[in-house]
Amino acid sequence: MLVLALLIILSFQQVSFAKEDLKRPPKPTEGIESSDPKHGSSIEISIKSIQGGLFYKYNCTIDNTGTELYIGGITSANYLADKVSLTLYLQKWNGLQWVDIQSWSFIEYNTKSIIEGKEISYEQGNYYRARATHSINFGSQTETQTSTSTYIYVE
């Protein structure tokens, strides 16, 4: 009976040790961790310049749907623009820096805004974030902004 009890106790200890082996890698040293483990976002920026800037707002997001990552973004102009563009980047932390691993570009003509997104498969055990470049062309004027989401860990 004593041997059986000892074997049961030892088997539980092994399970505990096995779970400990699946530790998260160290957190990135650049960027901001999201307060929501399934959703990261750039701070939504609303620009209303007295000087008549082209941007109304721009941002990017990353979401863990449970089966895929979804990154999205918006570029919005104050006026009907000749061209509005958005380039989304999926970034992964490699232990030293953020690395662009995929990118997608979207362009709309004669519009005020563009809202786009992309679903992507992921590797478990990594930190991810979205980055975006936003651009608006109106006549001879061109303005460009960038945004970066907070990061999430994907288990």
Q: Considering the domain boundaries, does residue 85 fall inside one?
A: yes
Least trusted range by pLDDT, from 22-36, 42-56, 57-71, 127-141: 42-56
Tell whether 114 is covered by a domain: yes
How many structural domains comprise the chain? 1
Residue 139 sits in a domain whose CATH number is 2.60.40.10
Q: How confident is the model at residue 47 (pLDDT cuts 50, 70, 90)?
A: very low
What are 94-117's pLDDT values in tens digits?
999 999 999 999 999 999 999 999
Question: 69-90: per-residue pLDDT in tens?
Answer: 999 999 999 999 999 999 999 9
Antiparallel, parallel or unpaired: β 152-154 and 45-46: unpaired
Q: Which domain holds residue 106?
A: 26-154
User: In this model, does residue 44 exceed pLDDT 60?
Assistant: no
Arithmetic mean of pLDDT, 38-47: 74
